[in-house]
Structure formats: structure tokens, C-alpha cells
Amino acid sequence: MHILRKLGFYLVALWAAVTLNFFIPRMLPGSPVDAVLAKLALRGPVDPGTRRSIEIMLGADDDKPLLQEYFSYLGSLFSGDLGISVTYFPMPVTQIIGQSLPWTLVLVGLATTITFVIGMVLGTIAGWKRGSWLDSLIPATTIMQAVPYFWLALLFIYVLSVNMDLFPISGGYDPSLVRPAFDYPFVSNAVYYGFLPALTIVLSSLGGWLLGMRNMMVSTLSEDYILTAEAKGLNPRRIMVMYAARNAMLPSVSGFAISLGFVVSGSIVVETVFSYPGIGYTMLQAVNNNDYSLMQGLFLVITVSVLAANLVVDLLYGIIDPRTRARG
């Protein structure tokens, strides 16, 4: 029954998100039809009947009632048709998302996971050994988190790419050397190009995880069950990991799940600065070109990812903390 209530709540949330996903882009100024016509006009004269054809193709038919257009949109979603992109006309939205999503999942997903693991480990040690050298490291990491993404990214480009020529300035790989394929030359080249964007994400978000875990460890170590475990003479490492860290990391697990959901949205600032071909960079292009179909497709993928991540955590939280099962 508890699981059914959770599923029902997330289904309602998904419907609300899909509905907002339909209406919000249509409130923006500008028209995607005009954007396509402007591109076609660069190649030569455009027939007057072309506008009507493009309106129907993009689902921006002014003669159709908005409610009817909404239900047509829902029907297209169930059939897997997300429409045609204006920005990358005439490519379908599903193909564009399929090309951009792997880049973001690998870059932001790995960077977020690595940051979380490092933050949990260092935060656990810093909370367990208060006053150690790790405590003096925490202010430096929090300062890095306060620095804007784009400034840190530009700093790395200037120092490591422009001056030292250690890493490339932009892009996801070198098209003159490799072609996209799951082999060592391409993967190694993609890792080389993705190192600086990943480093930016890790350094700018490590402080939050580290400080949060350290503070929770300090709070948890004052609990009675920790004192009882110490009085029983249990191994200090076991107390640190199984008793203190396991309970102290519960709030961080929820935050990590939300972060994983937003991994799909990418890091718009970082991807834009490095011209990295991920979801964030694609999203910016869609907004700049009033690309309703692409914006809706990207928002839908992001929404489903966030809701799925939260649902998984809600279901797994009972395993991590059995007390939540009693409340549920």
C-alpha cells in the first residue's frame, strides 16, 4: 500500500510536469515558425504556403484550439514522437537528445558520483578526527564552491589550456583524429577533452558534500548509541563506518539522488563555456532559437529523470533507515 501511494503521487507529479512542459514554452516571446522561415530565406525565396506547412509540422497551428493542441501533444508523447527541432532542422528531437544525452551522462554523472564519494569519505574522516588537517581543508573547498562555475572554468582554460597547452579549450573530442565509436582511441580522446569540464564540476561542488557530511558526523557522534558502542569496546573503525557514518550520510543520500536526477540536465554553464556537446549546451541552443519541440523534449527527459531518482530513493530509504518503514 505504501508503494502504491508513492507511485500514485509520482504519476500525478509527472502529469503536472508534462502539462507545464506544454504551456510554459508557448508563453515565451517569439515564434519557432519565424525562426525556420528565417533559415529557409537564407537559401532563397520562400513560398507563402510554406509557413502553413511548417506550422502544421511543428505543431504550432494557430487555427487549432490550445486544448486540442494539448491533447495532440499528449498523444505524440505516448507514441514517442517529440516533434521536429527548429535549431537542428529537420532533425527529430529524439535523435538530438539521443546524441547529446550520453555526453552529459558520462561527464556530469561521473563527476557528480566521484564528488559525492570523495565528499562522504573525507567528511567522515574529518568528523571522526576533529581538529585534523582535513578540518583546515574544508574552508578552501567551501571557497571553491562559492566561486561561479563559469569563472572557474575560464580560469582553468586560461591556465591549463592557453598558457600551459595541457588540455583542449573546447569540444567533446577531436573529429580530425577519431570518430565516435566504443573503442580505445575515441574513449581516451573523449576523456582527454572532458577532463577540464569534469574537474570544474568536482572542485566547485566538493565543499558542500564534505562540509555537510562532516557536520552530520559531529552531530551523530554525540548520540547515545555511539557512546554505547564505544563502551562495549567495539572496533573504532566499525563504530565510525557502521554506526556513525551510516546514519550521518542519510541526508546526503537524498541530496545525491536529487543530484543524479539533475545529471540529465547537464551543467549548462560548464557545457557552454567548453562548448561541450551535452544536454546543457543543447538546451541553451533551444532557448535561443525558440525551439518549442526541443525544449519540451529536454524538459521531459529531465523531469522524468528527477522523479525517477526521487522515487528510487523513497523506496530504498526504508532499506537504509528502517525507521522510515514504520512511519510509512
Average pLDDT over residues 17-24: 82
What pLDDT, on a 0 to 100 scale, did the predictor assign at position 39? 67
What pLDDT, on a 0 to 100 scale, did the predictor assign at position 8? 83
What pLDDT, on a 0 to 100 scale, did the predictor assign at position 58? 61
* Phi, psi for 166 (deg, rounded to 5): -90, -30
Q: Is the CB of residue 194 less than 8 Å from the CB of residue 106?
A: yes
What pLDDT, on a 0 to 100 scale, did the predictor assign at position 232? 83
| Model pTM score | 0.73
What pLDDT, on a 0 to 100 scale, did the predictor assign at position 55? 66
Percent of the chain with pLDDT over 70: 82
Residue 119 or residue 58, greater confidence: 119
Residue-wise pLDDT tens digits, 37-69:
666 676 667 676 666 676 666 655 555 677 777
What pLDDT, on a 0 to 100 scale, did the predictor assign at position 46? 67
DSSP letter for 84, please: B
pLDDT at 15 over 60: yes
Average pLDDT over residues 159-175: 85
What pLDDT, on a 0 to 100 scale, did the predictor assign at position 190? 87
How open is the CA angle 95-91-182, to the nearest 5 degrees?
A: 35
**What is the rounded CA–CA span in Å between residue 52 and residue 270?**
38
What pLDDT, on a 0 to 100 scale, did the predictor assign at position 204? 83
**What is the rounded CA–CA span in Å between residue 124 and residue 218?**
9
Comparing C-alpha atoms, which of 294, 300, 278 is closest to residue 86? 294
Confidence at 293, pLDDT banded by 50, 70, 90: confident
